Amino acid sequence: MSARKQVLLKRHRRQKRIALLLALVVLLLVGVLLTWWWLPLLLLVGWVAHEAWFADHLFYSPDDDYTYDFAGGVLLLAGRIDAGNLLLEGDIGEAETLILQVRIKASWLGRWFDPHVLVGTDRQDFERGVNGRRYLNLSGQRHALVSGTLQLRGRFCSIEPTVTLYALSNPDYTEQRVMVVAPHADDAELAAFGLYSRARDVSIVTLTQGEIEAESYQALGLDKVAAARLKGRLRAWDSLAVPLWGGVPQSQCLQLGYYCLQLPAMQAQPELGVGSRESAEQDIRSVRAANAIQLPGDVDGIPSWRNLVADLAASLEYFQPQVLVTPHPQLDPHSDHVASTQALLEAIQLSSWKPKTLLLYANHLHDNDRWPMGPAGFGIALPPAIEVLPADGLWSPCLDAAQQLDKAMALAMQHDLQGALPLKRRLRRLIQRILVGRRWPITGDDEFFRKAVRRHELFWVRTLGD
């Protein structure tokens, strides 16, 4: 977790504790002034209200505008919404990634139910109480947009009639050699299963074993160390085996074997070996036996930043990708994700092979733990950008129903996304289903089955210098 998100989370928890303390004082006064049985009843009502309407982690105001600076040369068209139809003033040409800037204002019901915009056959959700600039993703609806028949309708919200379309043109990156860099097993599937399952020539490099937080494996009679080692082996196996479901052979996948949440510590002291926090292992070769090539780190097995960068440089030279798919270093706050992309950029400088394009993804956010908001199967609106991001391009390929199902099954194979939800989360979902109307897919309980299985995937496009 990034330092900024830690600050936001601490502030959120402090404010929640203050609110709970004030509520407790009010309840005690009620208990004194009224009969005692009001107290447990009000406590129950307050807890249900919290779970239904106040449990989301939203670290900004719904009144804040999203702020995006698009890359230079992006086609910009004015438009308006007339009788529910989106009409443009100009031609979008051959652009395939279509982003509509709108202003949305929640109705009073939109403070209690999730406001969303129906975009033709799609739906894109926003924060309860939204009142500001947002960005709809119209990719995949080009025909209706060009013909003037694309309908936009707000539910629990209204849309200002004056809008702006950003029309972005990209090559089909699936026709180029692609390397997906995954900090952990499942990151490649979450961000880019649709992309890599259609790519002509693709490789996947996973940096860590994913051995931490293995408490559930202790139920097998294992101690903490043995459970962590088992989980690391299983997730390392996931990183090599699950891509075959998307047509990527094991020979095109590498598992580097570094340790979860240790990449920043490695980066701070590049020559120092940093072992696992939980498995007591300090030799990355324990999960490298199935790799198709020898890597620099195989010589001594030391989990150091120097070895990580050298391994990535060797992977670049072996697979020779033209396109790299890697976490967005400004948008995705997970410390391992940030460090992974920084290591990759160092490796590019070291390597004799120079890729041309970065496709950046975000599996986590600083500001909103529910993004993409709304049910599975619908589109991905642009995420919150309260602080200005680099002016990158955007590419948002579409997944049909069959591809979405395949992606959901790929996630279901990942050991870290399996297992039942804790009782507290199951109760929260039940309350939100009844009172708020939220829905979750039947493909899996983990929140990523809702967030990642969508009609779009979304990448920020950054060109690398020669």
In angstroms, the CA 431 to CA 303 distance is 45
428-437 contact pairs (CB < 8 A, 24+): 428/51, 428/55, 431/48, 431/51, 431/52, 432/51, 432/52, 435/48, 435/52, 435/53, 436/52, 436/53, 436/112, 436/113, 436/114, 437/113, 437/114
Is residue 176 within 8 A of residue 323, CB to CB? The reply is yes
- Please check whether residues 346 and 279 belong to one and the same domain: yes
Q: Are residues 153 and 183 in the same domain?
A: no
In a domain, residue 333? The reply is yes
pLDDT-derived band at 445 (thresholds 50, 70, 90) equals very high
Q: Do 181 and 155 share a domain, yes or no?
A: no
The confidence band for 120, taking pLDDT boundaries of 50, 70 and 90, is very high
302, 350: one domain: yes
Among residues 151, 168, 185, the one where a domain terminates is: 168
Whether 161 and 18 map to the same domain: the answer is no
Q: How confident is the model at residue 387 (pLDDT cuts 50, 70, 90)?
A: confident
What percentage of the chain has pLDDT greater than the value 70? 91
Q: In this structure, are residues 243 and 194 in contact, taking their beta carbons and an 8 Å threshold?
A: no
Residues 330, 419, single domain; the answer is yes
**SS3 for 183?**
coil
pLDDT over 90 at 413, yes or no: yes
Any domain includes 116: yes
Domain end call among 142, 168, 194: 168
Q: At 58, is the pLDDT very low, low, confident or very high (cuts 50, 70, 90)?
A: confident
pLDDT at position 241: 97
| Whole-number pLDDT of residue 12 | 54
Residue type (1 letter), 246 = G
Minimal CA–CA distance to 337: which of 361, 371, 368? Answer: 361
pLDDT-derived band of residue 366, with 50, 70 and 90 as boundaries? confident
Can you give the residue range of the structural domain that contains 137?
Answer: 75-168
The answer to whether residues 153 and 83 belong to one domain is: yes
Judge whether 61 lies within some domain: no
Q: Is residue 10 over pLDDT 80?
A: no
3-class state of residue 136 by DSSP: strand
**pLDDT (mean) for 408-424:** 95
Prediction pTM value? 0.92
Averaged pLDDT of the chain: 93
Residue 253's pLDDT is what? 98
pLDDT of amino acid 32: 58
DSSP 293-326: S--GGGTT----HHHHHHHHHHHHHHH--SEEEE
- The mean per-residue pLDDT over the stretch 189-212 comes to 98
pLDDT higher than threshold 90 for residue 433 = yes
* Same domain for 287 and 140: no
Indicate the number of domains in the chain. 3
CB atoms within 10 A of CB 40: 11
Confidence at residue 30, expressed as pLDDT on a 0 to 100 scale? 60
Give a yes or no: residue 441 inside a domain: no
pLDDT at 242 over 60: yes
Q: Which residue has the tokens 């601490």?
A: 10
Enter the DSSP assignment of 215: G
CA atoms within 13 A on the CB side of 416: 25
Rank 31-45, 293-307, 452-466 by mean pLDDT and report only the highest. Answer: 293-307
Residue 42 pLDDT > 80: no
- Say yes or no: 29 and 178 in one domain: no
pLDDT (tens digit per residue) in 389-409? 899 999 999 999 999 999 999
- Residue in this structure with the two tokens 């936001």, named with its chain if needed: 8
- Whether 67 maps to a domain, the answer reads no
Q: Which amino acid is at 229?
A: R
Rounded mean pLDDT, 413-434: 95
What integer pLDDT is reported at residue 221 of this predicted model? 96
In a domain, 440, yes or no: no
Q: Which of 25-34, 284-293, 352-361 has the lowest mean pLDDT?
A: 25-34
Close Cβ partners of 162 (under 8 Å, ≥ 6 residues apart): 78, 79, 80
pLDDT in the model for residue 59: 86
Q: Is residue 64 part of a domain?
A: no
Residue 264: per-residue pLDDT: 97
Residues contacting residue 420 through CB under 8 Å, at least 6 positions apart: 426, 445
Q: Are residues 225 and 275 in the same domain?
A: yes
* Position 8 confidence tier, pLDDT thresholds 50, 70, 90: low
- Tell me, yes or no, whether 201 and 286 share the same domain: yes
- 127 domain residue, yes or no: yes
Which of 112, 139, 168 is the last residue before a domain boundary?
168
Q: E strand or H helix at 92, and its extent? A: none
Question: In the structure, what pLDDT confidence band is assigned to residue 1 with cuts at 50, 70 and 90?
Answer: very low
CA 259 to CA 274: how far, in whole Å? 8
pLDDT band at 108 (very low <50, low <70, confident <90, very high): very high
Task: Please indicate, yes or no, whether residues 370 and 299 belong to a single structural domain of this protein.
Answer: yes
Structure tokens at 384: 């919150």
256: domain CATH number?
3.40.50.10320
